[in-house]
Structures are given as structure tokens and as C-alpha cells.
Structure 1
């Protein structure tokens, strides 16, 4: 069974209403193309430059899970009849900060689940933890009409344990919303790590990156053997690829590496 997936590689403004309008338009286009799931970048709701990573600004821009941004995505998902995944800033009730959260909405517009980023980007001179509250649990794989889905966010690509935790629980494809900031060697790391996560877990990798002056773009959709099925440029675009559970089974038949792990030796 093949399913067309769309990665919405887009640039966010600092205004949630503007970004919601862009998302609604992209959802309509993707649905008309026949996509069944669309993925938006990390913190697409309000994307802002890393230089503005201040707790008070993040908190002020945040919304609850039942706020206008998620409600708008819900209505668009329901009208178009496709699944929608997007990054947002979620208000943290017991903290002066906000969560870097990814929401998952089904084709009926229901909020199926959400994930709060657990590994914050305190690297390359940035300190995301100054502005964001930290999630306290990894994403639990989710059954969808297209296969079993895993999910992690941007910097978490650098932690193979995050993907492997989910792979051990059965994953056919991973979703990775990102705001991968430009920098020396960053593009090399981006591409190699995405392909590596697909190969070592024999699962699809579906990534959607922010674009603009500070971000890389170059979203990748990679199959379980590490074949790049589609790649974005540096600009805004909708990128499409099919995922196929028969391909997952075929690759795992050739390379059953996840099943061959001897975890008792290295845990």
C-alpha cells in the first residue's frame, strides 16, 4: 500500500495568524495532489530567529493546545481530509517558558497526540533551554492508516537512541519537523544523519525544515534502504514522496538489523 506524503518546507513569520493561513493553503494544495499526510516544520506556528530565543518572548508567543492555531489546523485537516503534523509553541502551565511541541491531527481534525521536544538545542553557540521547557518523555509510536509512525524533532536527529527507542516498538516511518540552522558543516550533518537514521532503523524518514535566511531548507524524504526519494531546495516548496509498507518489509527481509540486535550486550 502506497501513501503520498507531503513535506511543507516553509518560512514562518512571527505572526501565528499568517502562518496558519499559509498552512491552510498548503493543506488544500497537498490534498488536491492526493497526499494523505502533510508535515510542517518545527515551531511553524511562530518561527523566529535564534537570536530572539528569550523566555519572555517565547512565552508571550505561545498558545495552549486548544488555542487558535491548533483549532485552525484542525478545521483545515477536517475539511481537506488529511492528517496534519506541525510544530508550535505550547504554553507551559507550571513554567515561565513554553514547550517546543509537535501536534498530530488526523483526517477528522482530532488532536490524536502531541510531543514536547526532550533534547533541546544547546549547541553551536545557542541555548534553547534558556527559552524552552523540556519535555519529559519520548514519543510513543502511533498507529496510523499509513503504518506505524515515530516522531522526533530537529536536534534529536543527533541522538540515535531517540529513534531506536521507537524502532524497537515498531515504526514504519519517522516524522521529523525541523528548524535546522545554517552553519559550518551543518548541511553535511543534516543529510548524513537523516540517511543514517533511515538505514539503521529500516524505516522511512520524512523531514520538513524551516527555510529563510537562517535555516537550511533541504528537506529530505528517504526510504528504509537510505534512498533519497525527494529533496527540497533552499526555498519554500511542497515536496512529495510515496511511502509503501511493502518496501519496509522488503528491506527488513534483506537487512533484519533491528531484529538482530543483542541488546543484553550494550544496555
Structure 2
């Protein structure tokens, strides 16, 4: 089956969820008007990410249940346009009372096909997730849809090759990858789209926003801002890309709101896998990968960080 996917790179307005939602709905209309069947949005596409120093009240204001007001409005637009939406991600108020960074996939009937919660939240000052109570997800689901098998990974999830590789092994046709990285990392986003497509032999749709975040706390190591960096204004430049077979087949302009489009052929990933199986008999060697599942290798390479306390935060 072939269909058009629209990778939507919105300009996010700080502290104005209503305006951001209105913009998202208009982008769905725009994409549908040229025949797109699926729209995809970035991580934290309505609010920007939570940062260090937020109060519980501020987090409660940012968070919503799924379904909830914003997802319900997008669901109505999906019904109106008869399209699917991979709704970036937001802080979800979960039924178990916890917060997670969650993406909802919505069908043209307005129903939620499935949800995915980021399994590798980060704790940088500018994107302070565990520090603001956001728990990691614990599943890597593949969703069966009328258009094929879909998977989601969010932001830091795709910096580890294991996740796109697992999705490829599970037979995903498309991996949607909402992210929210500042302009400093602009060149990395299309590169990671290509890498994830190569590792999974799936299509990879990696979507990043544009805009400004004002007075955001940052860590000096990442931004070369001095030991007492405090807060700075962060620019986001996009870099949204759609990749297949190790090549970006569509990409947005940078530093401006934009949409890029690509035709997805749901049969192409299996054809690619069959081809690779015929010419690369040693494409995978799982008997060599034991180091990956040793608990002591969970921390970054060459460090001795004790993560035992962090792992106690995971609520299964």
C-alpha cells in the first residue's frame, strides 16, 4: 500500500498551548489538502519541554490525560479530514497517577490507535523529565494499522541503536520519531533519521520544531556557555527529515515552519529486508551481543555512575 506522510515542523510559541494547538490543526488541514494521509508532529509540540525549576502546579498545568482536551481536538480534525495523526508527544497524566512523555496515534475515525511513552527520558536542565516527575515507559510496541505496522520512538530513544533495530525485527514499516532538539544539534537530526532507517530497514520520520524558548536553564557542557551559564534563549531550527534505505528522501527547510512530504510504500521495508538477507548472511550476530544486557553496562561507556537509585524510579 502507498500513501503520503506529512512531517510537520511547527513554530512553537512559548507558554501558549491554545495558539500551538490552533496551528497544529491548520497544518493538518494544509497536509490533507494535498493528499497526505498521515501527519506527524514533534516532541512537546504544544508546550515546549519541561525545564528545571518548574513547580508541581506548573507541571500539572502542562500535563493532560490522553484522551484529553488537546488530543480530542486533534481527533475531531482527523475525523473531519479523514487522516491519521502521530501527535508528537506531551506530558501525559496517566491513569496510574504518574506522568510520562507520551505520543498518541489517532485514526481517521477519531479513535486512539495506540500510545507510546518515551523509554529514555533525560534530565538536562532544558529538558528536565525525571526531575519533574516524568517516568519512563517500559514497552516498545508495534501498532497494526490499516496502512501497515507503525512504531514510535521519542527523542533520546533513537540515540540508542537497539530501539530502531528492535522495531525492525518486529516488522515495523515506519518508525515515527518526534524530537525537540535545539539548533545546536540541527545536523544530527537528519543524520539520525538515516541511521535509524539503516538499522531498522524501516522508513523513519523524524520531526523537530522551530521557534524560540526564552530564559531556559542549560548545562554549560552542552552549550559552551561558561561554568555559570544560568539561563539563555534557545533557538530551534527544525531539520525534519524522512529517510528510507539509509537516505533522506524528504527534508524541510530550516529556521521556519514547514511541512515535507514523502510517499510511503508499506511493502518496501520487507523487500529491503529480503534483499539484505540474501546478500548479508551475517547481518546480525546476537550471540556476540551479551554486553548489551548486562546491568553494569547501562551507564554511559567508560563511566562508573551508580544508576541503582535511578532505576528505582521506574514504576512498572
TM-score (norm 1): 0.89
With over 3 angstroms needed to count, the CA separation of the structure-2 counterparts of 1:171 and 1:93, relative to structure 1, is closer
Instruction: Tell me the equivalent position of 1:227.
Output: 247
Question: By how many angstroms is 1:10 displaced?
Answer: 0.6
Q: 3-state SS of the aligned residue for 1:157?
A: helix
Root-mean-square deviation (CA, aligned residues, Å) is 2.4
Q: How far is the alpha carbon of 1:93 from its aligned partner?
A: 5.6
Deviations 1:127-168 (A, max 9, x none): 432124123313311112222111100111101112222222
Give 5+ residue unaligned stretches, structure 1: none
Partner of 1:179 in structure 2?
180
Task: Tell me which moved more, 207-216 or 231-240.
Answer: 207-216
What corresponds to 1:117 in structure 2? 118
After superposing on structure 2, the runs of 4+ consecutive aligned residues of structure 1 that deviate more than 3 Å are 48-56, 92-95, 122-127, 257-260
Q: 3-state SS of the aligned residue for 2:237?
A: coil
On the 8 A contact 2:11/2:209 being kept in 1, the answer is yes
- Which residues in structure 2 correspond to 1:241-260 (within 5 Å)? 241-256=262-277, 260=283
CA change 1:229–1:132 in 2 (3 A) is farther
Aligned to 1:210: 209
Gaps of 5+ in 2: 213-234, 291-316
Alignment of 1:158-169 (within 5 A): 158-169=159-170
- Give the drift of 1:53: 5.6
1: CA distance between counterparts of 2:175 and 2:67?
Answer: 25
Q: C-alpha separation between the residues in 1 aligned to 2:256 and 2:186?
A: 15
Q: How far is the alpha carbon of 1:187 from its aligned partner?
A: 2.9
Q: Deviations over 1:213-234 (max 9, x none)?
A: 33230100011x1121111122
- The 3-state SS of whatever aligns with 1:212 is strand
Q: Which moves more between the two structures, 27-36 or 52-61?
A: 52-61
SS of residue in 2 equivalent to 1:63 = coil
TM-score scaled by length of structure 2? 0.76
Q: Aligned residue pairs: how many? A: 263
**Can you list the C-alpha shifts for 1:89-124, whole angstroms capped at 9, x where unaligned?**
2124656x7321111101111011111111012358
Conserved 8 A contact 2:190-2:206: no
Task: Quote the Cα distance in structure 1 between the aligned partners of 2:54 and 2:176.
Answer: 24
CA displacement 1:235-254 (0-9 Å, x = unmatched): 11111111113432332233
Partner of 1:7: 7
